[in-house]
Every structure is written in structure tokens, then in C-alpha cells.
Chains A and B, each alone.
Chain A
Amino acid sequence: MKLTPESKVVIQGYCEPLMATHAARMKVYGTNVIAAISPGQSGETFDEIPVFDLVEQAVAEFGVIDTTIILVSPYQALDAALEAIAAGIRQIIIIPAGVPPLDMVHLLRKAEATETLVVGPNSPGIIVPGKILLGTHASEFYTPGSVGIVSRSSTLTYEIASELTKAGLGQSIGVSIGSDAITGSSFLQWLQILDEDDSTQAIVLVGETGGNSEETAARYIAETIDKPVIAYIAGRNAPPGKHWGHTGTLAAVVGRGVNIGTTQSKLTAFKEAKVPVADRPSQISSLVKKALK
């Protein structure tokens, strides 16, 4: 993971509506956005960011690029990511919602073969408070510190960052793996990254009803994670199958048991792993403080 203010970042799809705002915010936050990729607009500049037609042209100009932020429309996301991999970029953040899952399957086969980290889709990306913003996180809710947040949501992640900030607990990182059924990176990958990260002392895992990634994460925490982990699960009282647009529920297929994806199954898994689970976002800070004592 290269997440320092010096690391070189490009944005693919700069000219999509609304994206000018986010690019400007990333720059203001200190992210080293060196180029934007927008076919047909090379030679122009936005906010002093030079525009190129192809990712490889930006690489020819600036050398190896660490991260790309993909802000194109969902059906173009696969192509943009494949272009980035072909140009040697190994950290890809996909912001848009609505990327078809089979496009993600295709991308993940390529990403695994090239050891590329993919965050998203349907994700606000990564924020290292006070240092770098890679995506669309609302940075005002974050403050630098030592709690790492890994989540499936976007606005709920801000909610939790805001509660931690209010309680005087800054954050070492905020990352949303995205809320789709098929995401580029998993809770496991991020738990491992945060466990090894020197600036992180405690981890907050924010899950949701549906899918089985929380259950897998709980087992992984019990087996390998040394740092304290606090969990929170949204959707405890949601009727089965209702998830307001988050589709992490696909794993409920034949042969996986009827209980899969329910909040109960997640709570049980965390209990077995001895991971404290907060009842509400505002309770997380006290559980973190207790765990750090």
C-alpha cells in the first residue's frame, strides 16, 4: 500500500458531472493529483491538472503512477481499470455505483494476476486523515489519529468517523471496500493491512446485514489479528432481503444454509471471535477507549 502525500495519483473520467468538485477537494486535501484522463481532451488543464487521452501517456510524462481514481460511468469502469493495469498502475479505486458484477469478476481475474489492489466499486475510496484523500470521503468528519475504520458503506463511515472525532479519537485511515456483492478488496485484506500499519492502534469494522463477509472477517480476527477490533452492524432490524440498494446478499444460494447473511449470524460470529459489537455508532468510541486501556 502506498498512501503517502507524495504518491502519484491520476483521475480517470475527470469530466464526468460533479467530478470537478471531487478532484478539487482531493487536491486541496493534499493529494498529489498529477493528471486527469479524459479521451479527446488532452492538452487542456482543469484546476492546473493536465489532461491526457490515455493513462499510458500520463505514465510516459510522469513515470510510474501509484493510484488511479476511477470516476467514469459504471459500464465504463471495467475498461478504465483494465487500461490502468495495462499502464502499470497497481492501486485502483472505483467510485461509481452500478458496475455489473460480472465486470468485476473479469477485473478481479486480471487484478489478482498482476497483484493489483482494487477498492470498490460503489465506494468513497480511502482517506488518511490529514494526509491524503483518494476518493469522495467527506473529509470534514475525519481527524488524524490512530483508529482505522474499514467499512462497506459511505455515509455510515462518515457517521462513525464523526462520532470518533467528537470523542477525541482521531483516525489513521478510513476505507470503504464498497457495498456491492463483488468488491475488489475484502475485509480480510484490510484487516491484514491495518494490523501491520504502525499508525493504527485499534480497528473499527463497520458491517451490514447481507452477504457473509462479516462472518469471514470475524473468524479471521480471532485467528490472526493482534490489535483490538470493534464491530458495528447496520440493518439489525431490517426485514430479510431488504437492503436499500446494497447488494451484498448474493451468497444466499443453495447449500450455504438458511441463516447466511442475517445479522444474527454476524453477531454470533463476532461473539465467538470475542469482538465487541457496538449497539449504535455513538457507542463505538467508548468501546475503542476500553479496548485501548
Chain B
Amino acid sequence: MDVLEYQAKEWFREMGIPVLPSQRIDRPSDIKRLKIPYPVVLKSQVRVGGRGRAGGVRFVTNTIDAIAAAQTIFHLSILGELPEVLLAEAKYDADQEFYLAVVLDAAAHRPLLLGSVQGGIDVESAPELLQQVVVEQEFSPFYARRLTIKMGLQGPLIQTVSGIIEKMYQLFVQKDLDLVEINPLGVSSTGELMALDGKVTVNDRAIARHPDVAAMAEKMAQREKGRKYSLELGTWDEVEPSGNIAVLGNGAGLVMATMDLLTDAGSQPASCLNIGHGRSWNSTTPSFKDRLQQGLEFLSEQKNIQVVLVNILGTVPTPIELAQVIVSFVQRRERMTTNKSRTQTYSPRVIVRFAGADFDSAKEQLATVQVPLVNSLDEAIAQASRLAKSSGRRR
């Protein structure tokens, strides 16, 4: 989960990382109660990058200009994202701008310290200046000093910049982050340091063990409701909105393999849903059968989906139990279709692929609702593809 700049800076402040005096702006009229002296920078609080170039950052010198600028920024969509809040911040004249980050590196299996003396928007244009240090063992400040030396820092900056990195690392561990980045870190002519912009990504798995972060995540989820799928029920993602077939499977690898095969067969998968495995660690997680049932309902709500290919491997629960879920789903959709007009309720065709014990009795059950059960993956793909193509023509 990416937190917004103003939230990141609140955390920086708590850790003792220097940040400018700033104020959160919820609506343009808040500008009248600004406690920071002009000139002020107004910054759109969006998660996407490139807001400066898009016009989401403005310098203002008086209240009238500030209110007008705030109104503009509130209505400025940056890569499809409108800000909920703005951040008003004192202006800062940096002599130099550095780049600092702590990131979890999958290749090294360790956190990585990153630093460059060329920060700001230029950091990626000078990759040769980007230095890194792997935090091999328990963190100790020498790792931070090692980075500053690699960056080519000298004199007092070695200690002061190391101090910032150390605090970033503490925040990284304390909040279970995937990334904490300060870019730029402003360096004044007197050597004073200031975190001018910050990016913080919290690891999704760890959110639940930090009550403050969990509260933030919940707020964010409320704003984004609609297209989002409840994490407890599985992982859903769109592939191609113009497609007409959906994949529902247990396990990410299997779902991706199924999607690849459909595409190779000339079909266009619209979306994929991974309902996860039979194994479950707490009783509040919906059962596998519930996840299957709700997954089918969820995919049926999407009007573009005409065929659902269910691909489930493994034996918890048994194919018989899964067949029952699918039979009752089909019957319920049929009842809905007869009760309402056909245009209101639309039911996708379902093709099921299981492998394992009880295959024949599961097949008999599904046959009662005209749902084919296939044993081989290649055959399931062929059938689903044919059905998707003929449904596509009917549309």
C-alpha cells in the first residue's frame, strides 16, 4: 500500500527526519487558515508519479493566488487520480538534492540502502551515480555510513546523511515497509538537510499487524470500493476489458497458466480471479466453498463476461463438494433469470475443470445443470475457447 506524501511526512516527523512546516488542506477554503508564511508550495496528494510535470505542484505568494491554485489542483486529475487532499508546505531553497531509499530486495533477500548525490527528477537519468549497500546482517549505522562514502560524501555530511538513513531504516522495520524513499533530500548551503518529498510503501501482508496502518488501509478501501475485490475472498484483476471470458482458479500460477493457454487459443480473457487454496489459517476467512460461490457471483455481475472457466486442482475440499456449489450457483442464476427479465439478469456459461478423486460423480452432478466437467487442461481450454467465440458472435 502506498501512503500519501503528507502521511509519509507525518511518519518522518515522528522518526525525527527533518521535514518542512506543512499543513493539510482538505478544501480550498482551508487556505484562509494557513499558519505557514508565504511563499508556500501547494502539492496534490496523489499516489502516481509525475505530478510536478502535470501541474500538481504550484508556488503561491498570497492568499488569493493560493485559493485559486488550490481549486485548480483539486480538479486536476493526474493519470486518472484526483487528490482528496493537498499539502501546503513552506518553500525551501536547496543547494543540492540527494536521493535516499531503503527497499526490500528480492534478489539479495535483504533490505537495500540506495543513495545518489543527484536526486530530484534526475535520479533515473544518472543510474551510474546510484549507489547501493546490502544490509546483510542486523542493521547497524555503519551500513548507512558505507553508503554515504560510496555516494562520495565528505566531512560532516557523512554523519548527518547517515543519521537520516538510520532513521529511514528504523521506520522501514517499524512499519514493515517495502520501500521508503526521500527524493529529493534537500541540502542547504550550510549543510542542513530537509526531506522535501517522500514515498512510502507498506507491505500488504503486514498491514494487519499495525493498527494505525490498518485504519489507513480501511479508509483507502472505502474510497476505492466498487471495482476492488475483498482480499479475504481472493485476488481479482482485470486483464482486458474487451474480453468475454473469465478464469477462476485456485493458485496464482495455475490461473496465469490458464490465462496464457486461453490467449494462445485465440480467446481474450477479460479477468482472472484467484480464490486461493483450501488451506486457511483462521476461522474468519470464508471457507473455500464460500470463496468459490462468491467468486462465481462476482464474475457474473460483470456484463462483459460470457464464459467462466473454473480450474481447480487439489483435494481440499472434494470435487463433489465443489460440484454442489456450482450446481446451486447455476440453479440460483436460472431462477433469477426467470423471475426478472432476461436483460436484467445475465448468466455466464460455466465450464469446469477438476482433476482428482471422485471425478465421475462430480461430472454426473454437473451434468444435471448442463455444466461440462473436463479432466484435461488442454481440453478445458479448447471447450472454453469455442464457447467464448460462439458467445462473442451472438453478442
Q: Which residues of chain A have a CB within 8 Å of any CB of chain B?
A: 16-19, 21-22, 72-75, 95-102, 104-105, 108-109, 136, 138, 140-141, 151-159, 162-163, 179, 181-182, 206, 208-209, 211-213, 216, 234-239, 242-251, 253-255, 279-282
Q: Which residues B170-221 have CB closer than 8 A to chain A?
A: 172-173, 176, 178-179, 203-206, 208-209
Are A101 and B316 CB-contacts (below 8 A) given A208-B252, A209-B256? no
Name the one of B114, B130, B209 contacting A75, with C-beta atoms under 8 angstroms. B209
What residue in chain B is nearest A207 (Cβ atoms)?
B253
Identify whether the interface residues of B are mostly helix, strand, loop, or mixed: mixed
- Segment among B21-29, B80-88, B160-168, B257-265 that sits at the interface with chain A: B257-265
B112 surroundings in chain A (CB, below 8 A): 253
Query: Which residues of chain B have C-beta atoms less than 8 A from A282's C-beta?
Result: 376-378
Residue of A nearest to B201 (CB): A250
Contact at A17–B282, with CB atoms within 8 Å?
yes
For A101, list chain B residues within 8 Å (CB): 104, 178, 203, 205-206
Give the CA-CA distance A237 to B270 in the complex, in Å: 12
Judge whether B176 and A100 touch: CB under 8 Å: yes
Contact of B239 among A98, A109, A242 (CB under 8 A): A242
Contact A182 B109, beta carbon cutoff 8 Å: yes
A182 with B104, Cβ < 8 A, contacts A21-B316, A154-B253 known: yes
A141 to B124, CA, bound (A): 48
- Are the CB atoms of A159 and B106 closer together than 8 Å? no
Residue of B nearest to A109 (CB): B137
B340 near A: Cβ within 8 Å?
no
Given contacts A237-B259, A254-B124, contact A138 B315 (CB under 8 A): yes
Considering the complex, give the chain A residue whose CB is closest to the CB of B239. A239
- Digitize B307-350: 1 where CB-to-A-CB distance is under 8 Å, 0 elsewhere: 00000111110000000000000000000000000000000000
- A141–B377 alpha-carbon span in the complex (Å): 14
Chain A, residue nearest B247 (CB): A244
- Most chain A CB atoms below 10 A, which of B235, B239, B273, B314: B314
Chain A CB within 8 A of B56 CB: no
Contacts of A236 in B (CB 8 A): 260, 263
A255 x B257 contact (CB < 8 A):
no
Please, how many angstroms separate the alpha-carbon atoms of A18 and B109 in the complex? Answer: 31
Task: Report whether B104 and A22 are in contact in the complex, using a CB–CB cutoff of 8 Å.
Answer: no
Do B256 and A181 have beta carbons less than 8 Å apart? no
Complex: chain B residue closest to A138, CB-CB:
B314
CB–CB B264/A153 < 8 A: no
Q: Chain B, interface size: which category?
A: 35 or more
A251 near B254 (CB under 8 angstroms)?
no
Q: Would you call A156 and B253 a contact (CB within 8 A)? A: yes
Question: Closest residue of chain B to A113, judged by CB?
Answer: B137
Residues of A within 8 Å of B355, CB to CB, are 141, 158, 162
Q: Which A residues are CB-close (under 8 A) to B261?
A: 280
Q: Which residue of B lies closest to A251 (CB)?
A: B106
**CB-defined contacts of A243 to chain B, threshold 8 Å:** 252, 256
B281 touches A244 (CB 8 A): no
Q: Which residues of B contact A156 (CB under 8 A)?
A: 251, 253-254, 256-257
Does B206 lie within 8 Å of A100, measured CB to CB?
A: yes
Inter-chain contacts of B315 with A (CB < 8 A): 138, 140
Structural contact, A246 and B205, CB atoms closer than 8 A? no
Nearest residue (CB) in A for B259 is A237
- Docked pose: A253 CA to B107 CA in angstroms: 11
A105 in contact with B104 (CB, 8 Å): yes
Nearest CB to that of B314 among chain A residues? A138
List 13 interface pairs A-B (beta carbons < 8 Å), by A numbering. A17-B282, A17-B283, A18-B280, A157-B253, A208-B252, A209-B256, A234-B253, A239-B240, A245-B235, A254-B124, A280-B260, A280-B261, A281-B257
Q: Is the interface of A mostly helix, strand, loop or mixed?
A: loop
3 nearest CB pairs, A to B:
A153-B253, A156-B253, A155-B251
Look across to chain A and name the residue whose beta carbon is closest to the beta carbon of B255.
A244
Q: Is the CB of A182 within 8 A of B106?
A: yes
Is the beta-carbon distance between B377 and A244 smaller than 8 angstroms? no
Q: Are A255 and B114 in contact (CB under 8 A)?
A: yes
B255 touching A99 by the CB < 8 A rule?
no
Q: Are A234 and B282 in contact (CB under 8 A)?
A: no
Whether A154 lies near B137 (C-beta < 8 A) is no
In angstroms, how far is the closest chain B Cβ from the Cβ of A287?
15
Q: Are B105 and A251 in contact (CB under 8 A)?
A: yes
Question: In the complex, which residues of chain B have a beta carbon less than 8 angstroms from the beta carbon of A182?
Answer: 104, 106, 109
Residues in B neighbouring A17, C-beta threshold 8 A: 280-283
Instruction: State A275–B172 Cα separation when bound (angstroms).
Output: 39
Closest residue of chain B to A256 (Cβ to Cβ) is: B107
Q: Which of A19, A98, A151, A239 contacts B253 (CB 8 A)?
A: A151
- B243 CB → nearest A CB, Å: 11
- Distance in Å: Cβ of A277 to nearest Cβ of chain B: 12
A105:B237 contact, CB within 8 angstroms: no
Q: B120 on the interface (CB 8 Å rule)?
A: no
Say yes or no for B357: interface residue by CB 8 A criterion.
yes
Q: 20 more A-B contacts (CB under 8 A) besides A158-B314, A213-B106, A237-B260? A: A18-B278, A102-B203, A104-B109, A109-B137, A136-B279, A156-B251, A156-B254, A156-B256, A157-B253, A163-B377, A234-B253, A235-B253, A237-B269, A242-B239, A244-B255, A250-B103, A250-B178, A251-B105, A253-B112, A280-B261
Q: Which of B219-273 contact A (CB under 8 A)?
A: 234-235, 237, 239-240, 249-257, 259-261, 263-264, 269, 272-273
In the bound complex, residues from chain B placing their C-beta under 8 Å from that of A22 are 279
Residue of B nearest to A166 (CB): B376
Residues of chain B from 91 to 137 with CB closer than 8 A to chain A in the complex: 101, 103-107, 109-112, 114, 123-124, 127, 130, 132, 136-137
Q: Are A255 and B127 in contact (CB under 8 A)?
A: yes
Interface residue B152 (Cβ < 8 Å from any Cβ of A): no
Q: Which residues of B contact A96 (CB under 8 A)?
A: 279, 281
How distant is B359 from chain A, measured CB to nearest CB, in Å?
A: 11
Nearest opposing residue in chain A for B285, CB measure: A17
Q: Is B356 in the interface zone, CB < 8 Å from A?
A: yes
**Residue of B whose beta carbon sits closest to that of A77:** B281
Asked if B253 and A216 make an inter-chain contact with CB atoms under 8 angstroms apart, the answer reads no
